[in-house]
Structure 1
């Protein structure tokens, strides 16, 4: 389970914090580290020194330009946040996160990303909106500032506890097979498709966006759609786009043609409905 949990650091400015993060990860059995646009040289004598024997994680860390690249293959992304936001997002504690991990990682393609922001400003609102949920460490309200590596250590500890408990549990009997969840990359393609369609039908004006797409993003991420469910939604969007592009098109006729194209021939259910009418 632990090998499918990724620590993502965004815009880290001190190499020592990268090394200390690697040490915290190795203490708890984590090894997958991604660095998004670091503001320092990750591999330095300071980062190696602070890693204290976990420098192999620093050497193996993946450097990417954007958060989307870092979490593209993940089915759950959780952003660490200490601040309240204008648009509230699902908020969980580190303990709740740990309790969710066995279920979240039950599928063979499942992968979880724990996302941490900059030392001085944390994660931006845009970055947090790329996450399914936010995790808040309940620190002393009078002194809530945590060192980056210390925050990673708290969440990594909860991950290890969850892994140890899951390995000691009896395997569940007669459970429904877990359907694969949509990955972050698939969700981002869906959101782009959704916005494009809403613009095409005149429902969304990009010049006056307010918080429409952010609210739709929050709703969708909270629902945790499976890959098949997301494919259905994108099929609906494609049919809607075709209707919008062809004035006077009957929506039922367009949907039938869309199904026929997907099935590679005549849609039997549509034929039966026509004959029954």
Structure 2
């Protein structure tokens, strides 16, 4: 419900491909409400093509004539601005924007993220209809962002804000297989005994002149964070290596790991 309360407003978009790119960026981050203010070319097949599977957002997009119509019912409005303005205005960084949007939307408020024209952004008058201006800190030597890219940046920050508010992880957790927990000290010690036997058997380690080989291998495995399952795989390899060195018959292929 939080993300449904956040709308993306594109003002005076001249290129339909940017509308499609913005729709794709929105869908990537779970946003679905798109409002278009006086677009020059919409609906458009090019927009659909650039949406790359987010055509449902284009189909449900609201098209209005003025920014005032686009902002009806909104309690928080944040407009993107790449330039310094003569009139001081409260400024937010993208991360602050994402947090503020989710906080207000979580309380049931309607929130708008407003983006201006590709060639000129939002006018001063339009920016004054926003409660906050949002500045994306791009490289000053090449600061102009593509419209869809700007939407992606803020949509991503909204996504982070929403995940944090919901207490959800910011990354996928790896599926832990049985035996994929860290190996114990005694299990690792048994592996080292097995490894040393195999190295002696194949002639790689001279037990009379071991030098520091096993110490270095211990240090290597100590850094790797090896798991029980991985140790079992390695020991299986060692067993077959020893058999091969002795000329004993051994199985070909690996077990199901």
Instruction: Indicate the TM-score class for this superposition, using the shorter chain for normalisation.
Output: 0.5 to 0.7
Cα offsets for 1:169-195 (capped at 9, x unmatched): 8xxxxxxxxxxxxxxxxxxxxxxxxxx
Change (3 A) 1:88 1:111: same
Q: Distance in 1 between matches of 2:102 and 2:114?
A: 19
Where in structure 2 are the equivalents of 1:175-254 lying within 5 Å? none
Unmatched tracts of structure 2, length 5 or more: 169-257
Q: Distance in 1 between matches of 2:67 and 2:45?
A: 26
C-alpha displacement of 1:58: 0.8
| 1:148 and 2:147 are equivalent in the alignment | yes
Unmatched tracts of structure 1, length 5 or more: 170-277
Task: Quote the residue 1:117 is aligned against.
Answer: 116
Q: Distance in 1 between matches of 2:102 and 2:125?
A: 28
Q: Distance in 2 between matches of 1:102 and 1:135?
A: 15
Where in structure 2 are the equivalents of 1:24-103 lying within 5 Å? 24-40=25-41, 42-103=42-103
Q: Distance in 1 between matches of 2:102 and 2:27?
A: 20
Q: Distance in 2 between matches of 1:72 and 1:62?
A: 12
Contact 2:6 2:101 survives alignment (8 Å): no
Deviating runs (4+, > 6 A) in structure 1? none
Cα offsets for 1:42-74 (capped at 9, x unmatched): 222211100000011111110001101001111
TM-score normalized by the length of structure 2: 0.63
Q: Distance in 2 between matches of 1:28 and 1:103?
A: 17
C-alpha displacement of 1:106: 3.5
Q: Distance in 1 between matches of 2:100 and 2:126?
A: 22
> Root-mean-square deviation (CA), in Å?
1.1
Cα offsets for 1:66-119 (capped at 9, x unmatched): 1010011110000000011111111110011122234322323x0110000000
Task: Quote the residue 2:127 is aligned against.
Answer: 128
Contact 2:102 2:158 survives alignment (8 Å): no
SS at match of 1:164: helix
Q: Distance in 2 between matches of 1:54 and 1:103?
A: 26
C-alpha displacement of 1:6: 0.3
Cα offsets for 1:148-205 (capped at 9, x unmatched): 0000000000000111111118xxxxxxxxxxxxxxxxxxxxxxxxxxxxxxxxxxxx
Q: Distance in 1 between matches of 2:164 and 2:107?
A: 18
Structure ID, larger Rg: 2
Change (3 A) 1:161 1:68: same
Task: Quote the residue 1:6 is aligned against.
Answer: 7
The number of residue pairs the alignment matches comes to 167
SS at match of 1:39: coil
C-alpha displacement of 1:9: 0.3
C-alpha displacement of 1:33: 0.2
Task: Quote the residue 1:225 is aligned against.
Answer: none
TM-score normalized by the length of structure 1: 0.59
